[in-house]
Amino acid sequence: MSLGLWLATKQPILAAIAIAGAWINLFNLLPVWVLDGGRAFRALSRSQRWLATAAVGASYLATRDGMLLLLLIVVGARALTEKGDELGDRRAATHYVLLVIMLSLICLARPVIGRQF
């Protein structure tokens, strides 16, 4: 919502709110404890976990966002240390990867905020 408002009005505060929301959602994608990322990762096969790791890695390289680096470390560790579900859940893997990509794109608005203040 705030991203759409920022795109329409170009008010930097709305971009800042959108980025803060993206960071909170990226944190929620950490595959630990009871966070949504932890639930999603339990349903993924080993190959799907590596796909998620690749998506997070590519997103980090594109944005250089610190939250994505944290996510990459944790996702990579989980992909290395756990076998995962034998069949995996294609829908959960697709949603996880798409969320990472979409939230990463929102994080790209950060340089725009800096230029407007």
Question: Both tokens of residue 99?
Answer: 């969320």
Number of domains in the chain: 1
Is 36 within the bounds of a domain?
yes
pLDDT value at position 117?
44
Is 14 within the bounds of a domain?
yes
* DSSP track, 50-81: HHHHHHHHHHHHHH--HHHHHHHHHHHHHHHH
pLDDT value at position 115?
53
110 against 7, higher pLDDT:
7
CA 57 to chain centre: 10
Is 117 within the bounds of a domain?
no
Does residue 103 contact residue 5 with C-beta atoms inside 8 Å? no
CA distance 34 to 37: 8
Is 8 within the bounds of a domain?
yes
Is 116 within the bounds of a domain?
no
Question: Both tokens of residue 63?
Answer: 């944005």
Residue-averaged pLDDT of the chain: 90
pLDDT in tens, 66-94: 999 999 999 999 999 988 888 999 999 99
CA distance 28 to 26: 5
Boundaries of domain holding 87: 2-111
> Token pair 């639930």 is at which residue?
39
22 against 111, higher pLDDT:
22
The average pLDDT across 54-65 equals 96
Percent of the chain with pLDDT over 90: 69
- Angle subtended at Cα 44 by Cα 39 and Cα 48, rounded to the nearest 5 degrees: 135
pTM above the 0.85 mark? yes
